[in-house]
Amino acid sequence: MKIINIGFLCFIILLFFAVECFAFRCGSGLVSSGDTKTRVLVTCGKPTSRENSCANRRVSTTTDKNGKIKKIKKCGNKVEIWHYNCGDEDFIYALTFENGKLTNETTDGRGKGKSACRGK
């Protein structure tokens, strides 16, 4: 019975630390999902580049009064992506923000040159 309790306790501890794996570490700082753009900027500094994108783009067609067909493009959800080039020994990280909150962190290839990430 004690072995099961110790095993369960170890599992809970590992699960707690696994949450930190889904965060972006910039120097001694750490940002994760739900953080605001301001918090990321203060913790990690200015990104190497920024881009605006559209998630869930919808295209529909309609006809005008002359019978001409027109395509209408609507953005389902505007997102902002910040890229951090962490240098030769690391990756380029892409942080996606929706409604001002960090929602996703992915890598976007190998970094090049000097690191633009704080503390690296």
Dihedral sign for Cα atoms in the order 46, 49, 55, 61: positive
Residue 1 structure tokens: 């019975």
* pTM exceeds cut of 0.75: no
In this structure, the dihedral spanned by the alpha carbons of residues 49, 54, 40 and 88, taken in order and rounded to 10 degrees, is -40
Task: Tell me: pLDDT of 14 over 50.
Answer: no
pLDDT band at 12 (very low <50, low <70, confident <90, very high): very low
119 vs 10: CA distance, rounded Å: 32
Q: Is 89 left (phi over 0), alpha (psi -120 to 50) or beta?
A: alpha
17 vs 29: CA distance, rounded Å: 16
Nearest CA to 40 out of 18, 23, 17 is that of: 23
pLDDT of residue 8: 53
Q: Which amino acid is at 78?
A: K
pLDDT digits (tens, 9 = 90+) for 78-89: 899 999 998 898
Residue 63 structure tokens: 């006809």
